[in-house]
Chain A
Amino acid sequence: METLIQQFINGLVIGSVYALIALGYTMVYGILGLINFAHGDVLMVGALVALQTMMFLMGMAPGMSPLVMLAIALLVAIVVCMLLGFTMERLAYRRLRNAPRLAPLITAIGVSFLLQTIAMIIWGRNYHTYPQLISTTPLQPIEGVFVTPVQITIVIASAALMIGLLLLVNRTKIGRAMRATAENHRVASLMGVDTNAVIAFTFVVGAALAAVAGVMFASNYGIAHYGMGFMPGLKAFTAAVLGGIGNLGGAMLGGVMLGLVESFGAGYIEHLTFGFLNSSYQDIFAFIILGLVLIFRPTGLLGERVSDRA
């Protein structure tokens, strides 16, 4: 029983991070029909920029309260990632909006590897220990079940951000413009929506969420390096597809579900395969789920859109 609850908690924590990243994928996909392959690497940039900021602050003002330090680092990471999202859209994707269908995707893959390479140049190949500014001393709410304050913070902060995003999209003027653009670019622009600005805004918001997710991800695992964005990026994409790509609620649901499946899967895979496979195969769950969803329900759990319009 304790293991069960423990797996559930672990799954929920990592699932909230996936959900945050998945939102970025799904927003961009909803509006452009583009899989922004580099989204996972924005997360990596966020984590490493925050790390750099924290190191800097520790050197400059060692007496500063850890929470203030974290807030500043987060802010810097968010700003940098927003700029990055804006630049990517402006320099690469915008020019390819009417290109043949493979071109934007290939470019996105190129951008992803370029970001990794640049990160490798700046931060090297090593794994960096991530400063634990929020306590990682586990609490024991139930005997044998451990939860760290970092994990609690992650879940709460993710939930808050997701609610904020839903409000932004559903209740504000720019949100309405986003929905209109997603529905139909041409009509939206005829109605006076500056679709270019809306698309840029979408990238920027997605990048900001990725920055936060990056800091969470690195804090949770305690390490960061140039290639850290790849796997969570892929998994978040899977989550977005699982929930129904283009659908915000779906991305959240998909993220949490994927987190749980992974957590339970890793816990029980050894029993299920009679010891043949162990938890080092954890990463294949996402791919298997992705394959299954795309084969049997390509619209995802909450998606309505037909994936291939004639």
Chain B
Amino acid sequence: MNELAAAVPWLGKRNPMAARWLILIIAIVAPFIAWQFGKSWVRILDFALLYMMLALGLNLVVGFAGLLDLGYIAFYAVGAYTFAFLASPHFDVHLPFWVILPLGAGFAALAGIMLGFPVLRLRGDYLAIVTLGFGEIVRIFMLNLNYPVNITNGPQGINMIDPINLFGWDLSRNIQVTENFTINSLFLYYYFFLLAVAASIVFIQRLQISRVGRAWAAMRDDELAAKAIGINTRNMKLLAFSLGATFGGVSGCLFGAFQGFVSPESFSLMESIAVLTMVVFGGMGNIAGAVVGAFVLALLPEVLRDVAVPLQQTLFGHVLLDPEVLRMLLLSLAMILMMLLRPAGMIPARARYSHDHHLSNKLKQGGAK
């Protein structure tokens, strides 16, 4: 969690420990604050956590390994559809959550490798287009695989997906504590997703500060030099694709179960771009950036929905820019302006690829001599 301190401006640098505690406190009380504004805001926070996980996974591919993946949402789709197939009346299969989660992650990882193989030798910009094509192919299949055999149920998608059930504890049920105090299901999902995000951060940070993370960064900074020091760039790229996809797959599973239905509409190119914008906005290549980017850009469109729409009503008497347009406008402008004005992102922290305590031990030894 160390890397997360950078998410808090000013304090993160001076007192990382305090910054980490602050983040933890915010993370815990956030849904209670959101609840004050209405139930839908807790729901929005839940989705923000899923986006966070997606952004963390995409950041691993784009920010660490330098592979611009524009079809990332396809892995989210693989996870979501895996859950939908295996826990809904569609095929009348209802496997337990803990069985499907690794399956969804595994299928997504497999899809990542499948995408990885053909694009290994491609330069950055070609890679972007091919991955975009991959995302579109997945979407086209989701849309059309309802004929001649109905697999995906086409554009309607799959409904009535089972909720997350943790060993008999159904997260979709509110908990009645006393007569006039219930814990809403949205809170349960929130804390469960929060744990998932925290685990993702721990894993990704471990990868970052390791032999693997350094190999990715080396490949990103100079592929030829990376090969010249013995890095098998092919394997490292496949690894980045499959691990990045795994995070997409896991969050897809969570998404499917949480939302209760999946349809191709949720996995459009726009969503891939949205996740990419989150990574770019926060700052490519660092964990805090992905977290902040996802948080801000998942919430801001909703805030705009609540603020800008009534504002337009009062100002012009009708809605000029509907919420969806506002979201697209926000994301595309964020992407362009960040690249032009602040390419390192809002949280321009340099990612560490080595433990500083190792070095300081070393320096102490050196000083003692």
Distance in Å from the Cβ of A123 to the closest Cβ of chain B?
Answer: 12
Interface residue B302 (Cβ < 8 Å from any Cβ of A): no
Q: Complex Cα distance A120/B270, Å? A: 14
Interface-facing stretch out of B134-142, B249-257, B290-298: B134-142
**Distance to closest chain B CB from A294 (angstroms):** 6
Q: Which residues from chain B contact A111 at a C-beta distance below 8 Å?
A: 332, 336
Enumerate A282-310 residues with CB–CB distance to B below 8 Å.
283-284, 286-287, 290-291, 294-295, 298, 307-308, 310
How close is B17's CB to chain A, nearest CB, in angstroms? 33
**In the bound complex, how far is the Cα of B337 from the Cα of A95, in angstroms?**
12
Q: Smallest Cβ distance from B27 to chain A, in angstroms?
A: 29
Q: Does A6 contact B (CB under 8 A)?
A: no
Known: A102-B66, A281-B144. A287 touches B124 (CB 8 A): no
Chain B residues lying within 8 Å of A241, measured Cβ to Cβ, are 126
| Docked-complex contact A117 and B328, CB < 8 angstroms | yes
Asked if residues A287 and B339 are in contact (CB atoms below 8 Å), the reply is: no
CB pair A113–B340 under 8 Å, yes or no, is no
Residue in B closest to A103 when the chains form the complex, CB atoms: B339
Name the residue on A nearest B270 (C-beta): A113
Decide yes or no whether A106 CB sits under 8 A from chain B: yes
Which B residues, 44 to 77, have Cβ-Cβ distances below 8 Å to chain A? Answer: 62, 66, 68, 70
Task: Please report the C-alpha to C-alpha distance between residue A117 and residue B336 in the assembled complex, in whole angstroms.
Answer: 14
Q: Any chain A CB within 8 A of the CB of B118?
A: yes
Q: Is the CB of A113 within 8 A of B118?
A: no
- A186: interface (CB < 8 Å): no
Q: Is B129 an interface residue (CB 8 A)?
A: yes
Does residue B321 face the partner (Cβ distance < 8 Å to A)? yes
Instruction: Using CB atoms, name the residue of chain A closest to B67.
Output: A102
A110 located at the interface, meaning its Cβ lies under 8 Å from any Cβ of chain B in the complex: yes
Q: Are A105 and B328 in contact (CB under 8 A)?
A: no
Known: A101-B125, A280-B144. A114 touches B325 (CB 8 A): no
The answer, among B68, B136, B331, B335, for a CB contact under 8 Å with A283, is B136
Q: Is the CB of A114 within 8 A of B343?
A: no
Of A110, A120, A298, A310, most B-chain CB atoms within 10 Å = A110
> Shortest CB–CB separation between residue B181 and chain A, in angstroms?
44
The reply to whether B340 and A96 contact each other, CB–CB distance below 8 Å, is yes
Dominant secondary structure at the B interface: helix
List the B side residues contacting A33 at CB < 8 Å.
Answer: 125
**Knowing A103-B339, A110-B335, A117-B328 touch, does A307 contact B123 (C-beta < 8 A)?**
yes
Cβ < 8 Å to A, chain B residues 315-341 = 320-321, 325, 328-329, 331-336, 339-340
Please tell me if A237 contacts chain B, counting CB pairs below 8 Å. yes
Interface string of A89-132 (1 = CB under 8 A from B): 00010011001111111110111111011001100000000000
Q: Report how many residues on chain B are interfacial, defined by Cβ distance under 8 Å.
A: 47
Given A283-B136, A291-B118: A96 touches B339 (CB 8 Å cut-off)? yes
Residues in chain B near residue A287, CB distance under 8 A: 130, 133-134, 136-137
B128-A105 in contact (CB<8A): yes
Across the interface, which residues of B come within 8 angstroms of A100, CB to CB? 343
Q: Is B280 an interface residue (CB 8 A)?
A: yes
Query: Which of A107, A109, A117 contacts B70 (CB under 8 A)?
Result: A109
With a 10 A CB-CB cut-off, give which of B144, B284, B332 has the most chain A CB atoms. Answer: B332
**Is A70 close to B, CB under 8 A?**
no
Cβ–Cβ contact A294 & B130, under 8 A: yes
User: In this complex, what residue of A is CB-closest to B272?
Assistant: A109
Whether the Cβ atoms of B328 and A113 lie closer than 8 Å is yes
Those of A218-272 within 8 Å (CB) of chain B: 230, 234, 237, 241
Q: Which of B140, B273, B325, B340 contacts A120 (CB 8 A)?
A: B325
Shortest beta-carbon distance from B354 to chain A in Å: 22
Interface-central residue, B122, B148, B340, by most chain A CB under 10 Å: B340
Q: Which residues of B contact A35 (CB under 8 A)?
A: 125-126, 128-129
Over the window 28-50 of chain A, the binary record of Cβ atoms lying under 8 Å from chain B Cβ atoms (1 yes, 0 no) is 00000111000000000000000
In this complex, what residue of B is CB-closest to A286? B133
Report the Cα distance A118→B276, complex, angstroms: 20
- The residue in A92, A99, A287 that gathers the most chain B C-beta atoms within 10 A of its C-beta is A287
Q: Does A141 contact B (CB under 8 A)?
A: no
State the Cβ distance, A226 to closest chain B Cβ, in Å. 10
A198 to B269 alpha-carbon distance, docked (Å): 33
Residues of A within 8 A of B218 (CB): none
Partner of B340, one of A107, A276, A291: A107
Min CB distance B266 to A, Å, is: 17
Distance between Cα atoms of A102 and B285 in the complex (Å) = 13
Report whether B332 and A283 are in contact in the complex, using a CB–CB cutoff of 8 Å: no
Q: Which residue on B lies nearest to A34, using beta carbons?
A: B125
Is the CB of A148 closer than 8 A to any CB of chain B?
A: no
Q: Which of A92, A110, A278, A283 contacts B147 (CB 8 A)?
A: A278
Closest A residue, CB atoms, query B135: A287
CB distance from B68 to the nearest CB of A (A): 5
**Once the chains bind, are B340 and A92 in contact (CB under 8 Å)?**
yes
Across the interface, B129 reaches (CB within 8 A) one of A121, A278, A290, namely A290
**Chain A neighbourhood of B321, CB < 8 A:** 121
Chain B residue numbers with a CB within 8 Å of A102 are 62, 66, 68, 124, 284
For window 114-170 of chain B, which residues contact chain A by CB distance below 8 Å? 118-119, 121-126, 128-130, 132-134, 136-137, 140, 143-144, 147-148
B93 at the A interface (CB under 8 A): no
Measured CB to CB, the residues of B under 8 A from A are: 62, 66, 68, 70, 118-119, 121-126, 128-130, 132-134, 136-137, 140, 143-144, 147-148, 224, 269-270, 273, 276-277, 280, 284, 320-321, 325, 328-329, 331-336, 339-340, 343
5 A-B pairs besides A95-B340, A113-B270, A287-B137 with CB distance below 8 A are: A109-B276, A113-B273, A121-B329, A276-B148, A290-B129
19 contacts between A and B (CB under 8 A): A33-B125, A35-B128, A92-B336, A96-B339, A101-B125, A106-B276, A110-B277, A110-B332, A114-B332, A117-B329, A121-B329, A234-B129, A234-B133, A280-B140, A284-B136, A291-B130, A291-B133, A294-B122, A308-B121
